[in-house]
Structures are given as C-alpha cells and as structure tokens.
Structure 1
Amino acid sequence: MALRFRQRRTAAQICHILHRNLAPRQKRCILTGSSIDPAHGLGDDQRQIQQVALDFAQNELAPNMQQWDAEEIFPVESLRKAASLGFGAVYCSDQFGGTGLSRLDASVIFEALATGCCSTTAYISIHNMCAWMIDKFASDDLRSKWIPKLASMEAFASYCLTEPGAGSDAASLITSAKKDGQDYVLNGAKAFISGAGKSDVYVVMCRTGDQGAKGVSCILVEKGSPGLSFGKKEKKVGWNSHPASIVSFDDCRVPQRNLVGVEGQGFSIAMRGLNGGRINVASCSLGAALAAIQHARGHMKVRKQFGKTLDSFQYLQFRLAEMATQLVASRLMVRNAATSLDNKDPNAVALCSMAKLFATEECFKICNDAMQIFGGYGYLKDYPVQQYMRDTRVHCILEGTNEIMRLLVARDILTER
C-alpha cells in the first residue's frame, strides 16, 4: 500500500510501516562494519529506513538490472513496489500523501536503492524532484490531485527544463505559453526528458513573459493534452531502464489552473528543485560506486594471476583503498549538502553544487577503476561493473553540468559579503 499519512508520524513509525510492507528479506553484503559501511553516522531510524531500501535493492532491483538495461524496459511494477514502501514522494509533506522525510533521509534511500539499479533509482529521484516542486509551490487543488498519485506511482512525473537550444543557459529557453481564454497555449520543445511518453504529468518551464529568468513560469501538462507529442526514443549509453525523448508542444492547450506558483516564478522553482535534484543524482552515484567496490573486492579475492589472487598485489590494494577513500569523502559531502537543504542554510546552493561536482566525478572514477580491476571481464556485459560505469557517466552532465557546478561554487566564493 502507498504511505499516505493522515497525521504526522515519527520516523520510528515510518520505519515500522516500511518493514511491514516489505517482503521477507535477504541480507545484502554492504561490508557492514567496514570503513565504507553506508550506515556510519546514521541514527537508528535512518539505519532502519536504509535497510529497507537495501533489501528492496537486493530483492527487486539487482536481479533485474541487467535485463532492464539490455532490453530497455521501464519497470512500472517495480517502481510501484518502491512507491508502496514510501519512496514515491520521499520528502513531500504528509498532508496529501508524501512520506514526510528529510533530504538527508532521501539521500540515504537513493544511495541504497542505487546499489541495486542506478538507472531505475535515478528515475525515482527525478520523479521525487517533480513531486516536491508540485507539493511545495502548486495550489492545494493541484497538490490534492497529483501528490497521492505520485506518491503511489499510480502516476509518473517528468521534469521539462532543457531545450534543444537551451541547456546550461536555461534562462534562455523559448518554449512559450500564451493565455487564450481559460487556457495557456504552449509551443516549443524540450529535450532529453526522462520518462517522456511514459509519464502522466510534465513539469514544464516555459516563457510567459519577457526574455530572461523573470519571464519563465512553471505549468503542469498532463498526458493526453491536445498538442502534446513525443519524439523518437533516444538511444543512450546508460540510463536505459527509462526512456528519454523530445517532448513537443504544438498549440498545446492547458488549463490556467495548472500554473504552479505565480507567473514569473518558474525559473526560481526550477533552480530550487535542482538543488535537491543534484543531491539526488549524487546519491545515486554513491550507490553505484559502493556496489562497484563490492564487486571489485569480490573479484580480487577469487581471480588469480601469477599464482596469487589479485588481493595479494599491493598496487591493487592501494587502488581499492583510494576507491574507498573517494567514496567516503563523496558521501560526507553529499550528506553535508543534504543537511544544508534541510536546515535552509544560506550556503546550500554552493554546497549542493560542490557535492554534485565532487561526488559524481569521483564515483564515476570508482566505477571505471572497478571495471579496470576486472580486466577483460569488466568489458563484458555479463558483469555489472560496466553498467555502473555507463549509468554514472551522465551524472556529470545532467541536473546542471559539472562545468556549471564549478561556476556556481566560484561565484559563491568570489561574492563580496
């Protein structure tokens, strides 16, 4: 069942509900008690929530990860099982059915889920970002309509900011929305949209005013709206368990009541959503890197060369130590940034940018190094390390490229205060 809380619950109560709805568990080896144990520093309630997510990753995601990738399957039923555990609207308020957890809790959950399938977890994280933007800024009518469906993943959501001609320079977007009677009429296109064609609601940033950021508004476009269409499914290097394509608006009519916030607030909504989105995608990188280290460690203990297992070679020992250090440093930065969002820290934008920059690049290196440890076997799709590498590569590009992350951090440091 979906977690639709009528009253505020404690984290302990949430944990009880999560465990009650989980199938019998298999323990997943996460190097418990080692220096890279992801439970380090967490409270008891967070550890319980983390264990639920790890169990789901082991039982539901990991056994299907390679098939979903190879056959480009969008795993609707598995996504809805994740939602039944409270993972469909993790940090939305409980007023309309969200789970009501913190950004730090969400980071812990997404890291754990990504050990099972990074690509599928990444879609869950995007869906959560959309749900939060609706829950935070939309009218109560829209919230009551969409949040329960998004929390249960009865409905799926997509985030529409990037355009064919507007990527890093998001404020230059040209998709327009003009009033006509009781409707907005949208024209334009969005590119690289995860979930396109499968999602039920599209959170669209479009121009209702003058050029620049202040002319951008946020409008919800429902699947089936007249004038809404989709391009061909993109062939991607990774992230193959959810589709991506162009989303086109050709005189697409949407009721004015679907405006999120007020006109001219769209760019602010988009950027605030992305602060959390950057933490989410960095958390997915952490999970993939943790899984890659586990696989590399296991391979080193059984693979022999020159009459000895690989774990006896000092060079590879040192490489593994470097990978572990990169992972823990990345995790600390991500959790620090998530806490800054929870605490409404004035430096949250820079801290989220730092965390996304550092964690996505370091975790990609970890996955790449794990593949190298496997040697020729790592290049075969029979072994999952190559998939962790492929799925994490795009994390350095989306939710703001890492070049933009550097710009945001530099701007923060150089600002006179």
Structure 2
Amino acid sequence: MIRKTVRRIMQEKVAPRAAEIDQKAELPMDVFDLFKANDIFSLVAAQEYGGFDGKLLTLCLAIEEISRVCASSSMVLGNQSLGSAPIALWGNEAQKAKYLPGIATSEIKASFALTEPNAGSDVGGMQTRAVFKDNRFVINGNKCFITHADIADILTVFAKVEVNGQDKITAFLVDGKAKGVTVGKKEDKMGLRGSSTCSISFEDVEVPESSIVGKIGDGYRIALDCLDKGRIMCGSQSVGLAQGALEAAASYAKTRVQFGKPISENQGIQFILADMATEIELARTMVRAAAWKYDNHEPDMMKFSAMSKLFATDMVMRATTNAVQILGGYGYCKDYPVERMMRDAKIFAIFEGSNQIQRLVIARSLLK
C-alpha cells in the first residue's frame, strides 16, 4: 500500500517537474508538503511516536520509488530519517517524546552534522569542541556538507569533549536557530541539485547537559550506528535511480529507429539492457536483505549494510552511464532525464562512507 501510494504521487506530482527541481537547484518545499499531506514522513518513526511501523525495510521501499523519479526528492525523506536516527537509536525517552512526533510529520526538520573540512572518512579528525562551563556546554567548530542544514530545526552535532585529558566524541542536540549557529555556503553540486548541502558554523553555542544523546563519549558509536542505517537507505536510493534509468533507456530504445528498425532490436542494445536489469535486481535483493537484517538485529547486519551500499552504488553509476550511452547524443542533453540521473548517481558512492571505506568494513568483518 505504501509503495503504491508513493509511486502514484511521484508519477503524478513530482515526475512532471523533476527536471525543474534539478535546474533551479532549490529545495522543493512543495515535495515536503506533498509528503506531509500523504503521511510519508511517518515512515521515519516508530508507531509509539506517531510513525508508521518503524521498519527500515518499509522506508527503503518508499525511498526506492521516490528515487526512481527524482533522486533529489529522495533526500527529503532520506535526510529526515538520518537526522532523526541519533534520537531514535540512542535518545532517552524525554528526547524521543520531544522530537520524534514532530519529525514524523516534518513539523520538525532534522539534520545530521558530522562531517568537517578535515574530518570526512576520518571521523576522529574532527575539530569541533564542546567545553563544559557554568553548567552548560559551549560548542565551537565548523561542519561541512550538511544536508538541509539551511532548514534544520534540530541538528545532531558531533563534537569532542575533553575528559581527564582525553577527547571523547559526543553527540549533542542543537537548535538550528540557536544563537551562534550560522549556515554558510550552499554547495553548487554536480548532482542532487534539488537537495541543499551547506557548511555550518558554531560560535559559542550554549546547550544544556540534557542535550547530550547517550553519554559523553558515545558519539563515535552513535555515528556508526546511524551510518549503518543510512548506508542501506543509500542503497535503496541507488536501486530506484537505476530503475528509472533502465526504464528511460528501454523506452527510448523501442522508439529510436536507425538503419530501418528500432535500436532495441539490436543485440548489442539488448545485452546492455539485460545486464542493467540483472544488476538492479541483484542490488535490490541485497538492499532488502540488509534492511531485514537491520530490522531484526542480525549480528552480520553491519557487513550486509556495507555490501549492499557498495554494490548498489557502484551499480547505479554503471546503469546511468549505460542509459546515457543508449540514448547517444540525446542522452547527453538536458531534454532527456538520463544525464540528470548520471549526475545524481555519482554521489552515492561517496557519502555515507565512501565505497573504499565499505570495502574496509567488509574485509575486517571477514578477517576478525
């Protein structure tokens, strides 16, 4: 039911303006309104906090359908899930009750502030600090590549806290409109142009001790737990985007006539489409298996999360590139959607942990 609803509203409301969303490079607030009106944001929270069923597998089905039409729009739901994950996974009851019901309706927009200019894959290299002073923590530092930082009501900010001479990475809930929080440069990106990605700075931002998620020093574990979930969602986005590219390429191949016949009758084109379809189904199966393992707390979930992200995000780059190839010169032009899909595809092998990091995670799980 959820999948059918999402597919219908994406086809009817978003597909006609997917190219415009990309061209304008602005957050599609009408998509937020559309998802809110159809209760799509409820997929990010458990039932006791106003959500649907709280299952990652259900969320992945929806995100796949969104990304099939518009990858930028998939970030609307995907980032709301990632932004809420620290609270949902590690928050205390008061934090969950305060934030999750609003996140499940999008009244509260959440973001995840981990990455820094000198701390990407190397999370331990972060320089943002929180110092305890006058019964409050004071946060100073800079983050970059933060999705939807410009509209965030609440941010989970990761910062180092010094305890007995040792730095402890800690997660704090910070009001996006708090004094000292400044949203900086909005990145001019190659793809996902309808999803804002910004730098954000924190200058003497004061937060109460109650804003800590988990305990002092839990931040690194919190980040990893959230990324395990985010990587599976990233795989679903990739599967949906690849499916959209396959459908566009197959449709074009059936109508493009060369040498007196549709190019779909050429074995060379058929083989490309067959390989695309096979890899998409393999990726879809891997992603859904990983989501099931996540929902059921299987011990090998982390390995499957990395595997599904690795395979799906490499696959979507091949699929979209092949789609452009099938369309030829037209595929390179903005009149057709596959050039946008190819641009959108590249980021998935980079964020939520690069695919080189995923290979390390997989290898370590095999050799431990």
Measured against the shorter chain, the TM-score band is over 0.9
Counterpart selection for 1:267 from 217, 220, 240: 220
Aligned to 2:143: 190
In structure 2, the gaps of 5 or more residues are none
Corresponding residue for 2:355?
402
Query: Is 1:178 paired with 2:131?
Result: yes
In percent, how many aligned pairs have the same letter? 34
Task: Report what 2:314 is aligned to.
Answer: 361
Query: How many residues matched?
Result: 368
CA displacement at 1:84 relative to structure 2: 3.6
- Map 1:149-298; keep pairs closer than 5 Å: 149-209=102-162, 215-298=168-251
TM-score, with length taken from structure 2: 0.96
Deviations 1:130-156 (A, max 9, x none): 223212322333222211221111221
Q: Give, in angstroms, the shift of residue 96 of structure 1.
A: 2.0
Q: CA RMSD in A?
A: 1.7
Aligned to 1:304, which of 257, 270, 279? Answer: 257
* Richer in helix (by share): 2
3-state secondary structure, aligned to 2:216:
coil
Distance 1:248 1:400 in 2: 22
Counterpart Cα distance in 2 of 1:209 and 1:68: 44
Q: Which residue of 1 aligns with 2:66?
A: 113
Q: Which residue of 1 aligns with 2:34?
A: 81
Structure 1 residue 125: Cα displacement: 0.7
* Larger proportion of strand: 2
Instruction: State the AA in 2 paired with 1:337.
Output: A
Q: What is the Cα deviation at residue 210 of structure 1?
A: 5.6
Contact 1:195–1:242 (Cα < 8 Å) also in 2:
yes
Q: What aligned pairs does 1:295-334 form with structure 2 within 5 A after superposition?
A: 295-334=248-287
Aligned to 1:132: 85
The separation in 2 between residues aligned to 1:85 and 1:170, in whole angstroms, is 37
Instruction: State the alpha-carbon separation in 1 of the partners of residues 302 and 121 from structure 2.
Output: 16
d(CA) in 1 for partners of 2:30, 2:178: 25
Task: State whether residues 123 and 194 of structure 1, in contact with CA within 8 Å, keep that contact through their aligned partners in structure 2.
Answer: no
The Cα of 1:86 is off from its aligned counterpart by 3.3
Is residue 89–residue 132 contact of structure 1 (8 Å, CA) maintained in 2?
Answer: no
- Give the whole-Å Cα distance in 2 for the aligned partners of 1:77 and 1:317: 38
Q: What whole-Å deviation, never above 9, does each CA across 1:368-415 have from its counterpart, x for those lacking one?
A: 100110101011111111111111110000000000000000001111
Farther-moved stretch of structure 1 (126-135 vs 187-196): 126-135
Structure 1, gaps ≥5 residues long = 1-47
Structure 2: distance between partners of 1:391 and 1:278: 16
Q: Partners in 1 of 2:89 and 2:178 — Cα distance?
A: 24
Structure 2: how far apart are the matches of 1:120 and 1:214?
Answer: 38
